[in-house]
């Protein structure tokens, strides 16, 4: 009985569900790049530092990378992470990050040790996403990245020497 539970792992599900025609799958990086291009974005395939696939793109004037996860020897990946890094304009601290994370459903913000602000959006693709679903993923990501400037303005640190108005 225990063998049945062990054999029903996500890794097996990934192997049993190849990327069907017309689907977007992390197991077939070319489908991810092509889906971006179809939506009017660049989709530049490449490899990350470990040899796993990645795709470079941009939206709203910001570059981002799509990293592939759950890969076995740089193949058969099962999920994607949209990732963008921004220079901290000042004022983005843990409280601001928590504010973003409490108001945004599909993305996660974090502060890197070097002070950079990073935005992530994770998507599982086991069995594939149809073109409409993946277009929605891209649109949500573009919306999140597109709102970053307003968020930075909202949390901007006061200029050096500026005084807070009296109440």
Phi, then psi, of 112 in degrees rounded to 5: -80, 165
**In the structure, what pLDDT confidence band is assigned to residue 91 with cuts at 50, 70 and 90?**
confident
Encoded tokens for 29? 């990086």
Return the beta strands (E) in 33-160 as ranges: 44-47, 53-59, 62-69, 79-86, 108-111, 117-124, 129-130
Q: What percent of the chain has pLDDT over 90?
A: 74
pLDDT for res 43? 96
Rounded distance, CA 124 to CA 79, Å? 4
Q: What is the pTM of this model?
A: 0.83
**In the structure, what pLDDT confidence band is assigned to residue 73 with cuts at 50, 70 and 90?**
confident
Mean model confidence pLDDT for the chain: 86
Q: Confirm if 32 and 66 have CB atoms less than 8 A apart.
A: yes
Distances in Å between the Cα of 127 and the Cα atoms of 5, 87, 91, 100, 136 are 21, 36, 42, 31, 17
pLDDT for res 158? 64
Where do the domains of the chain lie? 15-154
Whether the predicted pLDDT of 9 surpasses 60: no
| Helix H or strand E encompassing 15 | helix 10-16
Residues whose CB is less than 8 angstroms from the CB of residue 128 and which lie 6 or more positions away in sequence, other chains included: 17, 19, 20, 23, 24, 25, 31
**Locus of tokens 């977007």:** 24
Class of domain 15-154: alpha beta
Classify the phi-psi angles of 87: left when phi > 0, otherwise alpha if psi is within -120 to 50, otherwise beta.
beta
CA proximity to 108, closest of 78, 135, 144, 142: 144
């Amino acid at each position: 009985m225990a063998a049945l539970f062990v054999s029903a792992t996500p890794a097996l599900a990934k192997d049993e569900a190849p990327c069907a025609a017309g689907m977007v799958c992390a197991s077939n990086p070319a489908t991810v790049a092509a889906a971006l291009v179809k939506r009017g974005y660049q989709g530049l395939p490449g490899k990350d530092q470990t040899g796993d696939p990645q795709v470079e793109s941009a939206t709203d004037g910001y570059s981002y990378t799509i990293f592939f996860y759950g890969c076995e020897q740089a193949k058969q990946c099962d999920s994607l992470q949209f990732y963008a890094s921004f220079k901290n304009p000042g004022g983005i601290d843990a409280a601001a990050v928590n504010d973003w994370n409490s108001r945004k459903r599909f993305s996660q913000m974090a502060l890197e040790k070097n002070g950079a602000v990073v935005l992530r959006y994770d998507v599982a693709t086991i069995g594939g996403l149809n073109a409409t679903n993946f277009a929605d993923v891209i649109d949500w990501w573009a919306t999140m990245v597109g709102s970053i400037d307003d968020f930075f303005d909202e949390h901007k640190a006061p200029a050096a020497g500026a005084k807070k108005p009296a109440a």
